[in-house]
Structure 1
Amino acid sequence: MKAFIRWLKGPQSDFLLFIIVLVLLNLAGMRSFFRIDTTKSKSYSLSQSSKQLVRTLEQPLSVKVFFSSNLPSPYNNTAQYVRDLLSEYAGAANKQFSWETFDMNNPESQSMARSYRLNQIQIQELKESEVGFKNVWMGLVLTYADRIEILDGITSSEGLEYKLTTKMTSMINAVSALAGLKGQADLNLYLSEDLAAFNIQGFSSIEPSVSKAAEAVNKANMNRIRYNYVKPAQADVESLSETYGIPLIRWTNNKDGSTGKGIIGLVLSYNDTFRLIPLQMSQSLFGSYGIAGLDDLEKNITENLASLVSRSTEIGYVSGHGELSLQDAQSGAANLAAYASDMYGFKEIRTAEEEIPSNISTLIINGPTEEFGEEELYKIDQFVMKGGKLAVFLDPFIEKQDQMAMYYGMPPSYEKNATGLEKLLKAYGVEPAEGYVMDKQCYSQSAPGKGKTEFYFAPVIHQSGLKNNHPVTSNLSYVLFLQSGALTLNDAASASGAEAHVLAKTSKESWLQKEITALDPSYIFPPAKENMGEYNLAVLLEGSFKSAFANAPAKGNDEKAGTADAAGTAKTSAGAQNALVSEAHVSSGIQRSAVFVAGSSKITSGALIDEEGGQPVAVFVRNVFDFLNGSEDFCYMRSKGLSRNVLDKVEPVSAAVAKLFNQYILPLLVAVAGLIGRHMKKRRTKAIQKRYAQDENAQEAVQ
């Protein structure tokens, strides 16, 4: 026994003990989960959004794993990734989350999988130096309340966390749109008592109607809102109006000239954000006053509460100005709508005929070709001033081609596109330039007998032209633009305290083509290098903005309806005893907003986007929507693994040199470094041995 202990303590046992420890660690690793993610994009770490989702579950959410055993490589790695990922979900979740695996060799498990409409898939298998085929199960089933969702044919781990989290999110929102609410939201009715003296029709019904609507919403949503009835003092009225954008009502007594002010407003707030529920004083054709919005209070409160708490799943899509159609898959945005349908629905809004709904937090204007009216521009401007997010895809030219020209194969004509949106964008800090941006770093195509054709009007934006560390672009290796205009930043954003980010810009070998007769590579020639430079193709502005309007524009000229004064206010007729003036104009942002502008709508069309969103430009556009909608983590999840160290060289010689360096010179340098390190280690060992030998000799001489 003593000999065995001496052997264990001696160096002879080191190798065997190392093997034993290694085996034990592997056995422990099979039963426990631990991961260190050193990737730049954190491709193998659970995102904060996923953790928050499962941490706040209110009902049981179960994931059933139907994966065959003994899967060949690389599918076995996918199966292991699924188990590891679900372990991470479970580690971050509360007690409502669970997952289980099923033995797919068991006929009962196979029958259960079929009942969920999972199907076997066929994969390739290399066995005994022969390639064969094998039918396997590779699917997941998610259940939450009465909702069931499936993910079938999971042959790759790419984007799996994003798919799982979005499925869970849609299920939870379908059951309860307020599932993400912590605590309560505040519903505050601000009502000035002095306004009761003006005989406003429906005024006495405001408080009872709001109280009844709040009670009904609470009953349907487990008392999620806290209702407060506030009677503001005269001294607080203007401050409340400026803070929440509530129309300020002023009056003058024609008898004694005394003045006063009051407000009628319903504000729903949660954390640092709020929504102004439609409830305001209106004026009839005959000059009498009334309260608008009482009939739809319960519906408006519910919709705004869902939008405020759980990130709105409905995005406004402006129509009526020649925008890209949501029904056209070829030249319209139908593929984009299909790609985004897992989380968002697009609601078409004709701004010429209707107001922007209060529950809409993000508005898209995609490829308009007709001019916006002043009232429409004002609606959009006030939407931004109140904290709404705006995405504009603006084309510099309108392509026009009649049937006769198309019949004879003639190219379309290109006319300058002026929509009126330029006024708004300039006030916020960005100005569209004239012409298409051409770039020598572009999409190219080789054809037998024709050589290489470069499409200068399709710039390829590599990582050097994308903004680093921004959720929209951080993990993208490149983005392809098409027929884009240039965007110039001015001082308006910084003057109002907003931040400007250039998300995508061209290479330094770019130029503006202001005159377009035919968009044909054969007719486009690069200018001299000194006439080239970088151009912005997509920018993002964040913060509070100044309004593009000094006052609200005058409405129709109906004499019976009351007039609008220079401050954009609605008045009674001059003969009234007490003249009420409602001031609704918001001159500067009352909530933090964001404005995204791209120089092309082609990047949202079927020309570049398919229903599956397979191209990086589709991920780019979708990331924009998520970012504006407050879902930054989804941007990171979706683009995990998309970042690649790709060559951004466009010249054949440069590309060949870079390829040669990476394939041969770099490994050679590593080998040389290793040899140098080994040589230095040997020298150090010899120096140590020599030193100890000298010490021993000196000690022997002393003795």
Structure 2
Amino acid sequence: MDIKTKVKTNRTVNLILFLGVIVVVNLISSNLFTRVDLTENKIYTLTDATKNVLKNLKDRVIVRAYFSEGLPAQYAEYRRIIKDKLDEYKVYAGDKLQYEFVDPSDSLGKERARADGIPQVRINVFENDQYTARNVYLGLVVVYEDKKEVLPVVTDISWLEYELTRAILRVSSPETYVGYVTSNGTPDMQKDVPAFVQMLRSQYNVMPVNLDRPVPKRVSTLILLQPTEDLTDSQMYNLDRFVRRGGKLALFVDKIHADFDNGTARKLNLDNLDRLLANYNIKINNDIVLDRYHVQITVPQIIGSVIRFVREDYPFIPIVMNFDRTNPVVKDLENINLIVASSIDTSMLPNSGLKYSILARSSQYAYRMKDHYTISPNYQIPPEMYNESNIPLAVSLFGKFKGMFADSSDTSTESPETKIVVVGDGDFVKDKFLGRDAARNPNMIFALNLVDWLT
């Protein structure tokens, strides 16, 4: 059966429609992503990660909890849960972790809270048949040697282990540098991906990297996010040399550039990047993966002089739920959304000598758009066209990678054991697709898991 495309000739209608797509896409995460209780589902592999962090502490970590006395039942329960969690931490850390609960009700306690950066917060308390406002303390501080991390207000226990373990990692880990490529038309760190960069900076030192120059030696992990301009030969050499020295590489790459302003899509010329990836036995295809499991968006329709808003299917943003459940990076994720993603060709990997994991795949009902690219909500295909299954969308690689270049100053032709991750999409970490609670968006958790695994 031929693919059916609904066509509207009114350019004004289409422009309004695509402006509507942009607005709604900004809200997708808040309507779609399912929040996960970390203490139950252990997303971000927190239980195993926490044990490893605590077992490998080199010196003593001190946790100070500032919780007011006489809190309402909900917050009093928080205090108990925090104490139980800290007792559990001590099982694995032994004498390398100490904690205390500080009573901030007197002047000495208030002064200690102020010095540790724990603020008073106002809560409403129902007593004597009425609500009254109280100023209370609900914070934690983690101290290691001369470094300190503050959790100023703990109001969501489901994220306690994640936040606490991240704070311990932040103060106890040696300085690690993650590079973000700023050349080749990548998204602006401050305008396009500030939430992602901010989350990275909460654990790592993040520095911009221009591939026109060699990657600085202190960078251990490099992120190449959504390049729109191909690598030059010298840039390809610098990137390959980084991998040959053992650097870890995250590639979040769009092969088809989606323009949500006018609903068009076009193939990007990334031939040199393709050559480099082929040398590493991986390929990102020039296609768009559509999936029967996808988001709905709200778009405006003009009927006469009336504008109304309707919900329409949008298979260009799949709801990805098909993960490698044996891999700690993704095993506890419920779903993520990839935005106009391309498929990944893994056919060279079985004979490459590399260890690899197909982290995320399409559902059993997917379709690959291989030409005549569009991202219009008007584009429809019949159900029987969703006849491909388990299409790779994200892959991790581990092993010794063959170099493309060698010269008199660097004769190494193979890297030491290192890691590369490839995702056929770069939009998934942009602020406009993460929603208001970007830090806890599953897309963000997925991206941070990848960087943590690499680093």
Post-superposition CA distance 1:418-441 (Å, at most 9, x none): 242111212222211122111120
The SS at the match of 2:425 is coil
Is residue 49 of structure 1 aligned with residue 28 of structure 2? no
Structure 1 CA distance for aligned equivalents of residues 206 and 49 of structure 2: 29
Q: Please tell me whether the aligned partners of residues 179 and 222 of structure 2 are also in contact (alpha carbons under 8 angstroms).
A: yes
Identity of aligned pairs, percent?
24
**Counterpart code for 2:320:** I
Structure 1 CA distance for aligned equivalents of residues 204 and 398 of structure 2: 22
Is residue 520 of structure 1 aligned with residue 379 of structure 2? no
Structure 1 CA distance for aligned equivalents of residues 135 and 41 of structure 2: 36
How far is 1:607 from its partner?
A: 2.1
Q: Please tell me whether the aligned partners of residues 320 and 361 of structure 2 are also in contact (alpha carbons under 8 angstroms).
A: yes
Is residue 342 of structure 1 aligned with residue 167 of structure 2? no
Structure 2 CA distance for aligned equivalents of residues 150 and 529 of structure 1: 52
The counterpart of 2:364, out of the listed 484, 508, 511, is 508
**Counterpart code for 1:325:** D
**Counterpart code for 1:603:** F
Residue number in structure 2 paired with 1:691: none
Structure 2 CA distance for aligned equivalents of residues 46 and 545 of structure 1: 27
1:434-473 to 2 correspondences below 5 Å = 434-445=286-297, 450-462=309-321, 465-473=322-330
Q: Please tell me whether the aligned partners of residues 426 and 490 of structure 1 are also in contact (alpha carbons under 8 angstroms).
A: no
How far is 1:538 from its partner?
A: 0.8
Residue number in structure 2 paired with 1:321: 184
Runs of 5+ in structure 2 lacking a partner? 1-38, 301-307
Higher radius of gyration, 1 or 2: 1
Post-superposition CA distance 1:494-549 (Å, at most 9, x none): 323112211111112211123356422113434634644332111111112333x3
Q: What is the TM-score normalised by the length of structure 1?
A: 0.53
1:475-554 to 2 correspondences below 5 Å = 475-491=332-348, 493-516=349-372, 518-526=374-382, 528-529=384-385, 531-547=387-403, 549=404, 552=405
Q: Please tell me whether the aligned partners of residues 68 and 137 of structure 2 are also in contact (alpha carbons under 8 angstroms).
A: yes
Residue number in structure 2 paired with 1:604: 429
Structure 1 CA distance for aligned equivalents of residues 263 and 310 of structure 2: 23
The counterpart of 1:358, out of the listed 213, 217, 228, is 217
CA gap 1:413/1:474 in 2 versus in 1, 3 angstroms: closer
How far is 1:471 from its partner?
A: 1.8
How far is 1:40 from its partner?
A: 6.1
**Counterpart code for 2:424:** G
1:208-287 to 2 correspondences below 5 Å = none
CA gap 1:458/1:131 in 2 versus in 1, 3 angstroms: farther
Residue number in structure 2 paired with 1:72: 72
Residue number in structure 1 paired with 2:450: 624
Q: Please tell me whether the aligned partners of residues 292 and 386 of structure 2 are also in contact (alpha carbons under 8 angstroms).
A: no
Structure 1 CA distance for aligned equivalents of residues 41 and 117 of structure 2: 38
**Counterpart code for 2:433:** L
Q: Please tell me whether the aligned partners of residues 46 and 89 of structure 1 are also in contact (alpha carbons under 8 angstroms).
A: no
Residue number in structure 1 paired with 2:158: 158
Post-superposition CA distance 1:97-126 (Å, at most 9, x none): 432222344343234323434222233445
Q: Which has the higher contact order (CA 8 A, sep 6+)?
A: 2
Between the two proteins, the alignment pairs up a number of residues equal to: 408
Structure 2 CA distance for aligned equivalents of residues 531 and 155 of structure 1: 46
Residue number in structure 2 paired with 1:426: 278
Residue number in structure 2 paired with 1:385: 244
Post-superposition CA distance 1:329-366 (Å, at most 9, x none): xxx222210121111232222222x2122332211111
Residue number in structure 2 paired with 1:560: none
1:159-178 to 2 correspondences below 5 Å = 159-173=159-173, 177=174
CA gap 1:340/1:451 in 2 versus in 1, 3 angstroms: same
Structure 1 CA distance for aligned equivalents of residues 278 and 256 of structure 2: 18
Structure 2 CA distance for aligned equivalents of residues 61 and 359 of structure 1: 26
Q: What is the TM-score normalised by the length of structure 2?
A: 0.80
CA gap 1:72/1:541 in 2 versus in 1, 3 angstroms: same
The SS at the match of 2:451 is helix
Runs of 5+ in structure 1 lacking a partner? 1-37, 178-311, 553-567, 570-581, 630-703
CA gap 1:39/1:338 in 2 versus in 1, 3 angstroms: closer
Is residue 118 of structure 1 aligned with residue 118 of structure 2? yes
**Counterpart code for 1:120:** Q
The SS at the match of 1:149 is strand
